[in-house]
Every structure is written in C-alpha cells, then in structure tokens.
Amino acid sequence: MYKIVKKRVLNPTVTLMEIEAPLVARKAQAGQFIILRVDEDGERIPLTVAGCNRERGSVRIIFQVVGGTTELLNHKEEGDYISDFVGPLGKATETEGIKKVCVVGGGVGCAIALPVAEKFHELGAEVHSIVGFRNKDLVILEDEFKAASTKLTIMTDDGSYGTKGLVTEPLKAALESGENFDEVIAIGPVVMMKFVVATCKPFGVKTVVSMNPIMIDGTGMCGGCRLTVGGKTKFACVDGPDFDGYEVDFDEAMLRGTMYRDFERHAYEDACNLFKKGE
C-alpha cells in the first residue's frame, strides 16, 4: 500500500498528488512514468512522474479526471492509500549535450513538460518554455515553470490569460528570429505535437515528442502502446515515451487514441454515480 502524503487541486479537472514510494523516488528520472492501481480490483493506469523528492521518498503525479479510475483516484485524500505504484518505467529524457532547449507543453501535458524543463535547468541549460491552455481557468504550474525557465511564454486559446493563440506561434517566431535551439521537446495532445513538428521541420531543428498511447502492462508485452516510428513498430512503454518527432506517424496515433473514448466516458459516469449513491 502506498500513502498519499499530499493532494492539491490545480484546476477543476486536474489534481496533483505526492505518493510515498521511496524505492521509486530513488531512481525516477524526468520523462519516466509509473503504473498504479487505486485498489486491488482496479485497472492499471500509467501516469508520468511529475517530480520526486528523494529525501522524503515521495513521487509527484498529476492527472486529469477523464475516466472511472481517475475519478476514483481523485476521491482519495491525504492520508489515504492506493494499492499499487510501480516504476519507474520507460526511458528517461536524454539531456546530454543540450545547452539550449525549447520545451513546449499543452494542457495537462505541462505536468510532463515541467520535470523535463526542471532537469535541463538543473543541468545549466538555457530553457525556453512555451505552455498552452484553452483558457485562464485551466492554467497550471505557472510558478514552477517560471522557476525552471530562462524565458516563459503562456498561451491561451481564447486570450483570457497570457497571449492569445497556439503554442506553435511563439515557437515559429523564435525560430524565425534566429533562436538556435539544440532541441525542441513537445509534450501534450497528439495533434499539438504533430503541428509543433511541422513548425520545426523547415528549420531543421531536432524535435522530440513524448507519446502517451494506451498502456496496460508497461513492459511491452501487451502491445497496446504500439506506434509506428520511422516505418517500424515501437512500444512507447519500453522504447519511449520520447521519440524523434519527424519519424512518428501521428495520424495513426490519433486514430488509435480514440478507440476507447466512449468506454472511458461510461466508466467515468459509472464512478460518479457510485459516489453520488454513497452521499
């Protein structure tokens, strides 16, 4: 059993938790993920390591309430326990040799982008962060990004906070102005990452994307997280989650990502109804 030592609501649909898991905290690196179960009969869900405190032995996770399991997890409070917390899994983000990086995050994907920005900042790299949200109410982790970034640009679709527009707009402007990034890292909705790659391609800048397809076992055995990268089948859980953005088949990834949308919605509604009955 793993104790929830901290819970913080970031916006109406996104929650941060710190889980007491010293063995995971000891080895977890930016870019890796864990798989948890809320209870013994629950499903396994992957969540990115959003940070860890090695001294306290805790791991930070940030999740969006979209399905039944995240709804159940969101009803847990500080001091409660979850059944399983396995990791770290996947490959850590490669940082060697990077002196100037642009980290682009979208929506809840910013929870994944933050530890990457923090890692580069810790290593002394110049970090330009561009983060985007639908509106002001959904903005998360602004102070944390400010602390980890040489330059931070916040975009909102409706212009209610920061600058109105898409994350690709300041990215393109930076590249056109002559910013020489060693690497651009995009983390967020698949369609966002697709267009970040399209923006970077004319400039020839190395572009890495963090893929988040459906995962079950986290060891490559189930095949649920398969992607086509460079014309070959790859598994995000063991070969990634970071991949060369120029080689990812984004259209296939988007199609596969919609397969269980209706099921997730029904599971979420069932979980909500269960809690309502208990009130």
- Residue 85's contacts (CB-CB under 8 Å, 6 or more residues apart) are 2, 19, 21, 24, 34, 36, 59
Judge contact between 208 and 105, C-beta under 8 A: no
Spatial CA neighbour of 267 closest among 69, 76, 83: 69
Break the chain into its structural domains and give their ranges: 2-89, 100-210
Report the chain's mean pLDDT, rounded to a whole number.
Answer: 88
Q: How confident is the model at residue 195 (pLDDT cuts 50, 70, 90)?
A: very high
Q: What angle do CA 142, 212, 55 make, to 5 degrees?
A: 55
Question: In terms of pLDDT, which residue wins out, 234 or 224?
Answer: 234
Confidence (pLDDT) at 193 = 95
Judge contact between 5 and 20, C-beta under 8 A: yes
Confidence (pLDDT) at 268 = 42
**Which architecture characterizes domain 2-89 according to CATH?**
Beta Barrel (2.40)
Residue-wise pLDDT for 125-163, tens only, equals 999 999 999 999 999 999 999 999 999 999 999 999 999
At residue 87, the 3 state secondary structure works out as strand
Tell me the pTM.
Answer: 0.84
Residue-wise pLDDT for 155-164, tens only, equals 999 999 999 9
Residue-wise pLDDT for 233-278, tens only, equals 998 888 888 999 999 998 888 887 665 555 455 444 444 454 455 5
- For the cut 70, the answer to whether the pLDDT of residue 116 exceeds it is yes
Confidence (pLDDT) at 266 = 47
Residue-wise pLDDT for 16-66, tens only, equals 999 999 999 999 999 899 999 999 888 888 898 988 999 999 999 999 988
Give the type of residue at 240: G
Query: Rounded to the nearest 10 degrees, what angle do helices 250-257 and 190-200 cross at?
Result: 170
**Which architecture characterizes domain 100-210 according to CATH?**
3-Layer(aba) Sandwich (3.40)
Residue-wise pLDDT for 59-114, tens only, equals 999 999 887 888 999 999 999 999 999 989 989 999 999 999 999 999 989 988 99
